[in-house]
Amino acid sequence: MITVDYSGRTALVTGSSRGVGRATATLLAQAGARVCVHYHQRQEEAKQLLASLPGAGHALLQADLSDPRAARRLVDGAVTKLGRLDILVNNAGIFRPHPVDGSMPFEEWLATFQETLNTNLVGPAAAAFQAIQHMRRGRGGTIVNIGSRGAYRGEAGQVGYGAAKAGLHSLSQSLAREVGADNITVHAVAPGFIETAMVRSHLQGAAGEAVRAQSPLNRVATVEEVARAVLYLASPEARFTTGGVLDLNGASYLH
């Protein structure tokens, strides 16, 4: 268990109404941070999370992160609410089928592909850009991007997802090299399958058994395991891992 004291620090966690984002926001607040909860459409779940967070001074903001300008405004809004920004967790993402087998009309395929890239890569890049502007004027900070095992092994049927997550890993590394001198560290986590609503349909029946069997541990990650990894990477102890991508897939894919 990470025991770092986050008192006095602030964090924006995108996509925090459920899943990994919710678990991350909860752990950060339990460790003493003031947290800005972000949601796109799940307002009630986000409000419930906000009400459940320990401590005071937390905030709630809405934004559609498929729009990079909205992502930029979200960061500015978090700074306004919290006073500054020490930690950005780019967690929000979508995972929607868009196979290339001809079963989906091209225009629909292209729209899904583009939305996947915008939400999973362009939006996080815009949020990181704006967070860096604020962190440079302050005392530095940390950005943690939630990538994916799919960046390495590919995602058949969701080609935009794999491409976007590979880009997010590379973005993390490039940013780490650029902003380290400004006392800003940038990290990425690459989970495999996680027990979340977004992939629940993939974990049912025989297909779910096959997914779990990809790991010698015969299971997938929990949201808490990913959140604890984020908590570590956002801590001072992890500063020298800047630019790294932390695999969290239970040895289901090694490279």
Catalytic center residues: 161
Taking a C-beta distance cutoff of 8 angstroms, is the pair 141, 79 a contact?
A: no
Q: Which helix (H) or strand (E) holds 60?
A: strand 59-62
> How many beta carbons lie within 10 A of that of residue 37, not counting itself?
29
> How many beta carbons lie within 10 A of that of residue 156, not counting itself?
11
Residues 6+ apart with CB under 8 A from 133: none
**CA–CA separation, 97 and 155 (whole Å):** 10
β-partners of residue 10 are: 34
Instruction: State the chain's maximal CA–CA distance in angstroms.
Output: 53
> How many beta carbons lie within 10 A of that of residue 45, not counting itself?
15
**CA–CA separation, 43 and 65 (whole Å):** 15
- Angle separating helix axes 123-137 and 159-179, nearest 10 degrees: 20
Nearest to 93 by CA among 124, 68, 114, 63: 124
**CA–CA separation, 93 and 198 (whole Å):** 9
> How many beta carbons lie within 10 A of that of residue 240, not counting itself?
8
